[in-house]
Amino acid sequence: MGSVVQLLSRRATQVTARKAFTISPRHASCQGRRYYSSEPNQKSSSAWIWLTGAGAAVGVGFYFKSQVATPSTSHIFIPTKDDYQKVYNEVAALLEEKDDYDDGSYGPVLLRLAWHASGTYDKDTGTGGSNGATMRFAPESGYGANAGLVAARDFLEPVKAKFPWISYSDIWILAGVCAIQEMQGPIIPYRPGRSDREAAACAPDGRLPNATKGAAHLREIFGRMGFKDQEIVALSGAHALGRCHTDRTGFTGPWTFSPTVLTNDFYRLLIEEEWQWKNWDGPAQYEDKATKSLMMLPTDMVLIQDKKFRPYVEMYAKDNKAFFKDFSAVILRLFELGVPFAEGTENQRWTFKPTWDS
């Protein structure tokens, strides 16, 4: 059964470049939280953050043995879409409850966890990707690009304990989907089936983008995963969410004035604002000339400096619906990199209802 991405209608929260960026998390009925903690590495690999209809439940192939009656008897538990919706709802409830992180939401850092777990994929060797959840182990947990992601992993531990049948690999990606949708982003189709692996499967360091580099670096990093120019720009729109931290990546500040709501503001601000180098002792980054409260990374500015990237930035800056459509499609691909799904399950994906869409 073919999957069709349906973009939910909502108010696109547009905040002018002169207003404060903190938005009270979810007190307004149609306002989501914006998640995304981006963090550049002070060493070699900076953490550059990027980032259908309901499918049939056939071919999930996930089994969990739970004890019943006596220790010697057990039954096989095959999770359904409703079971995954319960996990989604639990993550969403925790996002609502734990509002003491950054700008009032763990959402951005959950999305960053899902992205960094997926973005290690190498199409030539078939290694890396979202299957395995190897960031639980050293050395991957200690890579500079993954600094600060322990906050996201720890956030999800109570959910994993409540639903022990779901793999870490699947829950990390499902949490990323939840983060996007609860921050009023587009609906992201989800396909379970990832399994956890041991430390020996850790991806090598250096596979994630370095925020200090240029266009050639972006094409090399994302080309290794199989992405083209437009997809690189579409994934970059996740920088509308969250902020950078000096104690993680060396960079500092948010990209937009509403870092807990996903819109096309990242592109709009890139085009409309005047950007200058920030005068400080940290790594080279840009700040907006008007308020000096926003930031852009060198890899962000490349998107308007490169003649092939820029037309896509301009397109998304003018059309939030186009951005949501393309972002949903490309983040779906990103989240499935490196997963040995059962053959024939490409159209057997599920979509989950955001908690604010009652």
| Catalytic residue positions, numbered | 116, 255
Chain centroid to Cα 295, Å, comes to 19
Number of helices and strands in the chain (H, E): 10, 7
Helix (H, G, I), strand (E, B) or coil at 180: helix
Phi, psi of 19 (to 5 degrees): -100, 160
Q: Which amino acid is at 62?
A: F
Whether 233 and 51 have beta carbons less than 8 Å apart is answered as no
Q: Which amino acid is at 229?
A: D
CA nearest to 172, candidates 129, 130, 221: 130
Instruction: Return the CA Rg of the chain.
Output: 19
Beta strand residue intervals within the chain, DSSP E: 64-68, 70-77, 243-244, 253-254, 275-277, 286-288, 295-296
Q: How far apart are the first and last CA of the chain?
A: 26
Residue for token pair 């590495």 = 41
Whether 38 and 48 have beta carbons less than 8 Å apart is answered as yes
Whether 255 and 14 have beta carbons less than 8 Å apart is answered as no
- Whether the bond between 139 and the residue before it is cis, its omega within 30 degrees of 0, is yes
Whether 252 and 287 have beta carbons less than 8 Å apart is answered as no
